[in-house]
Amino acid sequence: MTVIVLTHCPVGLRGFLTRWLLEISPGVFIGGPSSRVRQALWAEVKEYAGNGRALLAYSTNNEQGFTFETHDHKWRPVDHEGLTLMHRPNEQRAASASTKPKGWSKASKRRRFGNR
């Protein structure tokens, strides 16, 4: 089983994928091509995605029963003790930490020192 999810990709790429996979929702393609066809499709997706993002998930013989690859995603796959997990960067925390000084609000002082 193969699943490809496209976000903000050209319409022509979606049309190309419908030759091999079934589009069950806008930008979500599913099917059962051979591994050789899957690799060729993924190469085409990465080449013609433009400014869009793409995700490929397919079944395989491992502990999870599937694996996935990403193209131009902020989230990235990370191997953790034999399991593939998605690492999601926390941009909001990094942005807020660099722009606001910590501990200046009354609520922050109450949390730090208790309800005094």
Do 84 and 67 form a contact (C-beta atoms < 8 A)? yes
Into which CATH architecture does domain 2-89 fall?
Answer: 2-Layer Sandwich (3.30)
pTM attached to this predicted model: 0.73
Q: Is the pLDDT of residue 110 over 60?
A: yes
N- to C-terminal Cα separation, the chain: 59
What band does 102 get if pLDDT is binned at 50, 70 and 90? Answer: low
Please compute the mean of the pLDDT values over residues 28-42 and round it to a whole number. 96
Please compute the mean of the pLDDT values over residues 47-55 and round it to a whole number. 92
Q: Cα–Cα distance between 111 and 116 in angstroms, integer? A: 10
> Which pLDDT does position 50 carry in this prediction?
86
